[in-house]
Amino acid sequence: MSQVGSITIEPVLDEVECIAEALSHFTESKNDFEGQMVSVLMPALNEAECISAVISSIPIDEFAARGFNIEVLVVDNGSTDGTGEVAGNAGARVVTEPKKGYGNAYRRGFAEAKGDIICTLDADGTYPASMLPDIVERLVKGDLDFISTNRFASMHNEAMSPINRLGNSLLNFISRTLFRLPFRDSQSGMWIFRKDLIGRMDLQSSGMSLSQEIKIEAACRLKARCIEVPIYYEKRMGLPKLNRWRDGFGNLFHLMRKRFTWEKPGKSASVSATSQGFGGYQQFQSPYLSYHGTVSVPHSNNVILSPGSQD
């Protein structure tokens, strides 16, 4: 141990080396994502009242700190209240899709997005934009293709009416029955996925049913590496656009039509749950159960399911 006067040098040097090592690990972690582009995509119809706040809630600085490039892309689906102008002033790139419909807006957005990774949000503030950097990092580090989110894990008590909860539960059950869809929330509108999946998907829906269709395509037809994570679902800002009867029955008919008009998918994950959980996720039984809490299905489709109601 060396000394200069009364100052011990080696412990100080050890501390400097620890700091340098920590900075090195940070740099290596950042370099894992360096140069990757993330597109945060939102369809919007008459959301001028709230879209600026939603855009501001996207943690752009946090993405940048982790080495990601980011764009915020808003698809104005025929708004008459100046939504596109407000979004542009808030820093988003705005494109228009005159053909009305949630699915039409998203398909235009998918074509326009510049990112290697696409994150979707609604323009009404219901989905937690603050979680996006962590979920994107999980997608990349976990070598995943598609991450969906489960609103039923936790939500504001005014976020969804009882009749809408019932309708969602019915659609979830039918999706799992017809397709063995390995997600608890088939209707969630927050997804994080690699853009190259889009070119291999057969997305036909022009309306709200695109939300279930993209999950069916990813998990059941393409056998992509998927997980579902829990989120907190917030009460929306502004006036609701959902037409519960039209959209609900439209989604139901879409499920029936898609199931009986496409090539029969291969086996996917079983949805029969055991009574135990692991690490905040439901434990599922399957012929392809690879380890506690994770379902492994053919073609490397690894699905982790977040908490939710059991069948």
- CATH of residue 154's domain is 3.90.550.10
Answer whether residue 167 is part of any domain: yes
Integer Cα distance of 168 and 165 in angstroms = 5
User: For tokens 């905040």, what's the residue?
Assistant: 280
Ranges of residues in the chain whose predicted pLDDT is under 50? 4, 6-9, 11-13, 15-16, 18-20, 22-29, 264-311
Q: How far apart are CA 58 and CA 255, in angstroms?
A: 32
Residue at 63 is within a domain: yes
With respect to residue 310, please indicate whether it lies within any of the assigned structural domains: no
pLDDT at res. 255: 80
> Which of the 8 DSSP states describes residue 303?
E
Whether 92 is covered by a domain: the verdict is yes
Domain membership of residue 184 (yes or no) is yes
Total domain count for the chain? Answer: 1
pLDDT of residue 63: 97
The pTM score is: 0.75
Residue at 299 is within a domain: yes
Give the residue numbers spanning the domain of 185: 36-303
Query: Is residue 28 a part of any domain in this protein?
Result: no
- Tokens 């700190």 label which residue? 65
**Number of other CB atoms surrounding residue 22 within 10 Å:** 10
How far is the C-alpha of 134 from the C-alpha of 46, rounded, in Å? 30
β-strand partners of 233: 155
Query: What is the per-residue pLDDT for 126?
Result: 95
Note whether residue 13 is domain-resident.
Answer: no
Scanning 203-243, the segments in alpha helix (DSSP H) are 210-215
